[in-house]
């Protein structure tokens, strides 16, 4: 069993979705693969911005339109490439109506309740994960999408939730059971017993992936980003930064504590507890 996670920077347009789908299909030929996806590049920021604008009484339509446009563009490109994704298209339309009415409510209230904020911010991952599973299916792969009621929250925070790894284990194993060799999950949130999404914090999709890997006792957890690996410092800032071949969980946590924003200590913890290796891949 392998867990692969793709971040927003690897999910900018159709080409990058297809590049990721190629990596996924190669892995799934060898072993059952659970795929965890972030939202498309910039979408969570747009959703967060639309909430703030609505709270402040500003015009949130521009943010809504930008999200709509980004989703429409990628769906159109997929259709042009002969990879029609009708279910994702329908999902996108329904979510936009929902988002518009939620934002109108927020504007009236001049505040956004935490559970509504979580519902809105989770929409980016809802879209990208459905799109990836339908793109994989359109390419002939046996991929199944599941919501993250298979990653039940361990606390009641709507903004910085933890996963109950023990409770997730049988649920995830069951979701992996069957002929499909790819299971696609949205990152960033888990669905609680009331059916509501609880967020795992900004950049939380890494933690979703590592929690899933721990629950499944996966062979490895691959985190695909826009860098070659774990560097001694941020390679975008420090030209002389070196890519480390291997680093212990403790060293990685220490580096992340001092600002190596490649993977958080929160995301490393489930892997450290379960002794599962993490591979940062480009
Ligand atoms: P994603 O959102 O795709 O998961 P992130 O943006 O969270 O990816 O993480 C990747 C970014 O982390 C890189 O673009 C890089 O600039 C930054 N980064 C910061 N510190 C480090 C480090 N020590 N090693 C590698 N990348 C780092
Ligand atoms: N989309 C979320 C964020 O931008 C979670 C993630 O990408 O990991 O914070
Ligand atoms: Mg990120």
Q: Is the CB of 226 under 6 A from ligand 1?
A: yes
Ligand 1 centroid from CA 236, angstroms? 9
DSSP letters along 36-68, please?
A: EE-PSTTHHHHHHHHHHHHHTT--THHHHHHHH
Cα distances (angstroms) measured from residue 98 to each of 53, 66, 237: 17, 16, 40
Q: Which residue among 5, 6, 7, 8 is best mutated to probe the pocket of ligand 2, counting the most ligand atoms within 8 A of its Cβ?
A: 8
Nearest ligand, CA 204? 2
What does the pLDDT average to over 119-132? 98
State pLDDT tens for residues 150-172. 999 999 999 999 999 999 999 99
Confidence of residue 261 (pLDDT cuts 50, 70, 90): confident
State pLDDT tens for residues 177-206. 999 999 999 999 999 999 999 999 999 999
Q: List strands edge to edge, sheet with 182-186.
A: 143-145, 182-186, 33-37, 2-6, 220-224, 278-281
Residue 166, pLDDT score: 98
Nearest atom (ligand 2) to Cα of 39: 1
State pLDDT tens for residues 65-99. 999 999 999 999 999 999 999 999 999 999 999 99
Ligand 3 centroid from CA 125, angstroms? 12
Q: Which residue among 234, 266, 280 is best mutated to probe the pocket of ligand 1, counting the most ligand atoms within 8 A of its Cβ?
A: 234
What does the pLDDT average to over 104-115? 98
Residue 260, pLDDT score: 85
Q: Is 90 exceeded by the pLDDT of residue 257?
A: no
Q: How far is CA 36 from the centre of its chain?
A: 5
């Amino acid at each position: 069993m392998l867990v692969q996670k793709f971040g927003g920077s690897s999910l900018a347009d159709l080409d990058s979705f297809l590049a990721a789908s190629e990596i996924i299909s190669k892995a799934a030929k060898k072993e059952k693969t659970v795929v965890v996806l972030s939202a498309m590049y910039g979408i969570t920021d747009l959703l967060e911005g639309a909430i703030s604008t609505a709270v402040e009484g500003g015009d949130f339509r521009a943010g809504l339109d930008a999200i709509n446009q980004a989703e429409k563009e990628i769906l159109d490109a997929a259709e042009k490439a002969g990879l029609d994704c009708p279910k994702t298209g329908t999902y996108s339309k329904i979510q936009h109506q929902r988002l518009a009415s939620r934002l109108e409510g927020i504007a009236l209230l001049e505040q956004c309740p935490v559970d509504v904020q979580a519902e809105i911010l989770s929409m980016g991952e809802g879209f990208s994960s459905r799109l990836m599973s339908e793109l994989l299916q359109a390419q002939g792969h046996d991929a199944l999408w599941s919501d993250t009621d298979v990653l039940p929250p361990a606390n009641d925070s709507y903004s910085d939730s933890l996963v109950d790894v023990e409770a997730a284990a049988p649920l995830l194993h069951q979701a992996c059971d069957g002929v499909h060799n790819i299971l696609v999950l949205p990152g960033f949130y888990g669905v609680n017993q009331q059916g509501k999404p609880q967020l795992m914090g900004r950049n939380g999709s890494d933690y979703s992936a590592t929690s899933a890997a721990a629950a499944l006792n996966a062979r490895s957890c691959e985190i695909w980003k826009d860098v070659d690996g774990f560097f001694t410092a941020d390679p975008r800032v420090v030209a002389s930064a070196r890519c480390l071949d291997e680093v212990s969980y403790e060293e990685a946590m220490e580096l992340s504590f001092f600002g190596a924003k490649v993977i958080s200590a929160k995301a490393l913890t489930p892997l450290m507890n379960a002794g599962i290796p993490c591979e940062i891949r480009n």
